[in-house]
Structure 1
């Protein structure tokens, strides 16, 4: 009976250590008034980080959505620094030299001002200690811009001002 209990315990521990727990993170999206207007849920996946964004109260239209290099969101959100660019690439998903790790597709916000999207950013990771980790010493932030990213103009894509920001926790 004791041997069976020990074997069961060993099997349970072996099973538990082989179960991969996905790395996750969250970020509260705030507008320039400091009000929370949404959330970002991040999950490490095999080819990058799954970014789930849900926001409300944004102006309708097309808006750039980027990862920025500093985990600070003080209005007007310039404290978030430039785009997250650990590979020292050019800006723009259409750049022939490769793009910033922080470059992501534009958001299309309908008249309601509410949008929910899921996108995998293959240029970043949640694994600490890696050069492209969202957990760097200065932190990182997600920023929504006033205008659309043209996907080619370095360094910002002519995306305009910053209207919302979220620090990765």
Structure 2
């Protein structure tokens, strides 16, 4: 057998393995994602961009058409936004976490500060989330969603801060 044939024979299993390996660009490798936010009537209320940073996941929300006032703002555990948005499940949370910044066993990874929407209903904010890895924690098999609640989060009542009904939702997807 020639040297060329030996090289090809040796490389065959390696090449075959590459042909059936998962793509190198898996969800764990994603450095940004987007959620298009809609209200309960299916109307757009803006978008939320998530970016992986060395310190964790930074969120930038550009919202419009929301009711004025203070609203809870969370990352929920399931990437489904069927109105009235209960389909998004509970807050994104690691094992043993409880809701709220005032809770000694909290907060959930998906807990974020309340948003304060002015009278014109428009808001442009950035928030550092409790999520450390966008690909592994948010873009997992069942995805995740951004949810805005009717009322304010009290930062302690488990499981959702007594924030009331969900008024807007957006499934987080890779860009």
TM-score range, shorter chain: 0.7 to 0.9
Higher helix share: 2
Q: Once the 2 structures are TM-superposed, how far is the Cα of residue 22 of structure 1 from its aligned partner? A: 7.6
* Match in the other structure for 2:125: 117
CA distance in 1, matches of 2:75, 2:144: 7
Superimposed CA distance per residue, residues 114-136 of structure 1 (whole angstroms, 9 cap, x where no aligned partner)? 111101113342133xxxx1011
Which stretches in structure 1 are left out of the alignment for 5+ residues? 1-20
Which stretches in structure 2 are left out of the alignment for 5+ residues? 1-28
1:85 aligns with 2:93: yes
1:63 pairs with one of 59, 68, 71: 71
* Match in the other structure for 1:145: 149
Runs of 4+, deviation exceeding 6 Å: none
1:25 pairs with one of 30, 33, 46: 33
Tell me the TM-score normalized by structure 2. 0.79
CA distance in 2, matches of 1:82, 1:127: 19
Match of 2:124, SS state, is: strand
* Match in the other structure for 2:82: 74
* Match in the other structure for 1:38: 46
Tell me the TM-score normalized by structure 1. 0.82
Match of 1:101, SS state, is: coil
Aligned-residue CA RMSD (Å): 1.4
